[in-house]
Structure formats: C-alpha cells, structure tokens
Structure 1
Amino acid sequence: MSDILPAQDRPLRVRKVHSLRTFIWLARGWSDFMDAPLVGLAHGVVMGAFGGLMLMLAWDRFWILAGAMSGFLMVAPILSTGMYAVSRALLRNEPAGFEAVWAVWASMDRRLVKFGILLTALGTGWVMTSAALITLGVKPPVTTPTDFLLRVVMAPNPGFFEIWLLVGGVMAAPVFASSVVAIPLLVDRKVSVPRAVLTSWRAVMANPICMSTWAAIVMSLSLLGLCTMMFGLILVIPVLGHATWHAYRDLVVRETGGEAV
C-alpha cells in the first residue's frame, strides 16, 4: 500500500521490539523526569489543575464528567509535546529547561496545531457519545461519581458498563494508534502529518503485544492519577510524556542502523 502513496507521505521504517521494552520506557521516562523535574512538575500541575477544574464544574453532572475525563486523555499527548522536546534535549546534551518547551510551543507548528485540533474534536465526540449513552441508558439519571459507581460500574444487571467501555475502546484505539508515535515524530522531524500517522500505525501493527501492553500501562497509570483527585497526574503526566518519547525512539528507525520492517 505504501508504494502507491507519494514519497513524502510513505511511512518510515519501524523496529520490532520486545514487549518488556515498555518497562524500559517507563524507567527512562522517570530518569528524564528526575533530570528535569521542574519542567515535568509544571506540566503535571497544569494538567492536574485542569482536570481538577473539570471535576469541580461537573461534579454533579457525572454523565458529562465520565466522558470528559477519558476525552481529556485523548488530548493529553499533544499537550505533552514540551516533554518530548525536553527528552530530546537531554539526549543531545543540550539545555533541557523551559526554553526547550518554549521553542516547541512558540513555533506554532501547523502540523502540531492541526493534530491538536483533530484530537480535540475526537475527544469532544467521545464526551458527547458518553453523555448520550449514560443519559439514555441509565435511569434514574447519573449525577454524581457515587451514582456512576453504583448504577453503572456495580450495577446488579451487568452489560451497560461493558458496552460503555467497548464503545470508548473502539473510539480510543485508533486515536492511540494514530498518535502514540506520530506526535513525538512530528516534534523530532520535519515529516508530514499523514506520514507521521502512517508510521505510528505501522509501529503498532508491527508490535501488537508490546503496544497493547503500553496502552494498558498508559490507561492504568492515567486512571490512577484520575482516581487520586488529579494529584497523581502531577507525576503520571511527566513520566508518561518522557516515556512516550523513548517509545518513539525505540520504534522508529533513524537514517542508519536498527532492524527495520
């Protein structure tokens, strides 16, 4: 299929890696966080505060909040571009402070802006879908987190929660496959958005077990952060952001070296 695409949009070569590499990515993400803690904490605090604001505004409208929180996770990768830049600077032995973050954000890279708008639209779509499912499928209405826990998650008649998760997974899976490698690739190299997305899909398809494991780790740590009233996100966001950079570096072949597919 790549042979019929224009040369500038053909996916880059990728590597096959062992599924245990996911834990190496986490370790390297933690190491980068320790090397530039202020930048990581700033990202974590801002994103945690934004999540906390959503929590306060929609506490008694949990039919919106449930989708908003998971939709927030769809957009998080584009908000982590500063941490990708910091990890790149650390790798190059360059200054890895807020100046590296500012260089990415001040560039107003149209490719990243377009991708961010797309992720925001997809996240909004899921929020609306989730709200519709919960509003129409649960009676009496779900208004608080306790209602959601008792009437949806722990409902005596199972089925609705599983459907809600399935629909969310169907919407989130292509977003994950399209962005997990694409966004750090766009930060690192001058490639087109289609090429970055196709490369991301190629990496996922070449490493189904590894990337499924990574998706599960990302979701588990993110849920842990959300379940701690957003305070856990202060650490989770920077570590996952830096770790995603190292996942990209492992998966996408540079100009020379590495087993490619």
Structure 2
Amino acid sequence: MPNRFTEQALRESRSFGMRRIPALRPIGWLARGWSDLMHCPLPGLLHGLALAAFGGLLFWQARHQFWWLAGAFSGFLLVAPVLATGLYAVSRALERGEPANLATAIRAWQPTDHRMIVFGLLLALAGTGWVLTSAALITSALPGQVNRPADFIRLVVLADRGLLFETWLVLGALMAAPVFASSVMAMPMLMDRRVGVLAAVFTSWRAVMEHPAPMALWALLLMGLTALGMATVMLGLVVVMPWLAHASWHAYRDLVKTPGEQG
C-alpha cells in the first residue's frame, strides 16, 4: 500500500501533463541540443573537457584491470544526468532569451538545493552497485585474468563456451533500464521546478511508459554516441557529452507540460 508521502508525490507528478510525440522526435532533440552548444559553447566544452579528462584518468589508473574499467565506464552513464545540471540551465536560459554563459551553469549548482544532492547520491549509489556487480561477475566466472581490453574481448566477448558476455549485458540492461527511466526527465525537472525528488522520478517514469518507442530510441542514441566518444580515446566526449546534455533538456521540455498548460 502506498504511504501518504508516496501518494502526495503521485498527485504532484500527475499535475504535469505529457505531450504526445512521434517515434523519431529524439533526432530533433539532437538538432536543438547541437544548436544550443553552438550558441553557447564555453560551458559545454568545459564540462566535456572535464569529463574527458576524468575518463582518461580512469582509463590510465585501471588500464591493467579492465574487469573493473568495463563496469566503471558503463556505470558512468548512470550518473551522467547529474553532471549535466549546469548545461540544462544554459539551455533554459537560451530558450527564454536570457543571457547564457558559464556563470549560468555554475549557478545551477546551488549548495542549498538538497534535492539535487539526494538524487545525485542515489544515482551514484546505483552506478557503484553496477561497478561492483560487473567486477564480481567477470572476475568470478573466468579462468584467466582480464587486465587489458584484448583480454576482455578474448575471454568475455568471444568466449566459446558459456554465456558470460550475454549475462553481463543482460544484468547491465536490468540495472540501467530503471535508472534511465527514473532519471531521464527527473534531473532537468529538478533543476527547472520546485518539485520533490519522488514526484520528479514518477514523472520521468510516466514519460518513458507513455512513449516507449521514442524513449527507446533516445536511450540507444545516448549509449551509442557516448560509446563513440569513448572510442576516440575520450576526446569525442568533449563535444558529445555537452551535446547530449543540451539535447536532454529539450527532451524534457518537449514531453513534460507545465501544470495547467493546454495542448
């Protein structure tokens, strides 16, 4: 039975209507996200540079422990919405015709806004759980050591017996899917409106459940472009991460109505 807190969050979530969108609308989000990045490149490129540097450092530190690195990089995708908070604010300012610059992005990180901290900690906990699960699965099920990317491909991806790689992918999907559904609308919504964390999560789930085709395409685009950025020795992340962050703002604005908004 839902408690009073949950019922209140559900009522708050239902005050936000949903727009109907076609299956290919995520392509338009990418186009608008790219436009925002071109109009205000400095905050985005600095975000991207910081994330690419972090990814490079992570790879360097764990280059001989790829069993850990594989989970860490996929876990990174789970917490990416939190890291983009400042860029949501930049896109909002551009949408409103207000000045948008690096200060706009910095102001989004208000230390008094505990909702952001709570949600960020929850996503970090989910990411950490996947890293540990991934590492435990790979190290316990293999006869050899997975210290390099070539070892991962040979012993996990191309293994001639067992279903380790398939199991790894299924477990990753089972953990990533609810996190994606919980966060894809929630983080920009928390930045944009004074709404509770649980209400924002419920709204995010409603967006995914009511628009399965476009949201599945959006998830594939997020994963594919991020993987492409990582494959370029992290350099691609300098552009890919802010691009996707700005596009994610437009996904939220395209789907979630203001309470009382018609149409």
Q: Given the two structures, how large is their TM-score scaled by the length of structure 1?
A: 0.95
* Structure 1, unaligned runs of 5 or more: none
Of the three residues 170, 175, 181, the one matched with 2:179 is 175
Name the CA shift for 1:93/1:26 in 2 (closer, same or farther; >3 Å).
same
Instruction: Tell me, in whole angstroms, the C-alpha distance in 2 between the residues paired with 1:243 and 1:258.
Output: 24
Deviations 1:216-258 (A, max 9, x none): 1100011111111111111110010000000000110123545
Question: Could you tell me how far 1:61 is from its partner in structure 2?
Answer: 0.5
Structure 1 residue aligned with 2:199 = 195
Q: Does 1:227 align with 2:227?
A: no
Structure 2 residue aligned with 1:136 = 140
Of the three residues 125, 137, 145, the one matched with 1:121 is 125
Name the CA shift for 1:234/1:74 in 2 (closer, same or farther; >3 Å).
same
Question: Could you tell me how far 1:139 is from its partner in structure 2?
Answer: 1.6
Structure 2 residue aligned with 1:105 = 109
Aligned partner of 1:232: which letter? G
Q: Does 1:62 align with 2:66?
A: yes
Contact 2:17–2:259 (Cα < 8 Å) also in 1: no
Instruction: Tell me, in whole angstroms, the C-alpha distance in 2 between the residues paired with 1:212 and 1:138.
Output: 32
Stretch of structure 1 that moved more, 202-211 or 226-235: 226-235
CA-atom RMSD in angstroms: 1.7
Of the three residues 89, 92, 97, the one matched with 2:96 is 92
Contact 2:90–2:101 (Cα < 8 Å) also in 1: yes
Q: Does 1:246 align with 2:246?
A: no
1:201-220 correspondence runs (5 A): 201-220=205-224
Instruction: Tell me, in whole angstroms, the C-alpha distance in 1 between the residues paired with 2:169 and 2:184.
Output: 20
Contact 1:64–1:130 (Cα < 8 Å) also in 2: yes
Aligned partner of 2:234: which letter? M
Instruction: Tell me, in whole angstroms, the C-alpha distance in 2 between the residues paired with 1:192 and 1:90.
Output: 25
Instruction: Tell me, in whole angstroms, the C-alpha distance in 1 between the residues paired with 2:153 and 2:232.
Output: 16
In structure 2, the residue corresponding to 1:221 is in which secondary structure?
helix
In structure 1, the residue corresponding to 2:52 is in which secondary structure?
helix
Name the CA shift for 1:258/1:60 in 2 (closer, same or farther; >3 Å).
farther
Question: Could you tell me how far 1:152 is from its partner in structure 2?
Answer: 1.1
Aligned partner of 1:5: which letter? E
Aligned partner of 1:96: which letter? A
Give every structure 1 segment of 4 or more consecutive aligned residues whose post-TM-superposition deviation is greater than 6 Å.
1-4
Deviations 1:87-131 (A, max 9, x none): 000011111101111111134410010000111111000000000
Q: Does 1:10 align with 2:13?
A: yes
**Between Structure 1 and Structure 2, how many residues are aligned?**
259
Contact 1:15–1:206 (Cα < 8 Å) also in 2: no
Contact 1:15–1:258 (Cα < 8 Å) also in 2: no
* Structure 2, unaligned runs of 5 or more: none
Structure 1 residue aligned with 2:159 = 155
Instruction: Tell me, in whole angstroms, the C-alpha distance in 1 between the residues paired with 2:70 and 2:214.
Output: 28
Name the CA shift for 1:231/1:258 in 2 (closer, same or farther; >3 Å).
farther
Instruction: Tell me, in whole angstroms, the C-alpha distance in 1 between the residues paired with 2:77 and 2:112.
Output: 22
Structure 2 residue aligned with 1:53 = 57
Q: Given the two structures, how large is their TM-score scaled by the length of structure 2?
A: 0.94
Name the CA shift for 1:54/1:239 in 2 (closer, same or farther; >3 Å).
same
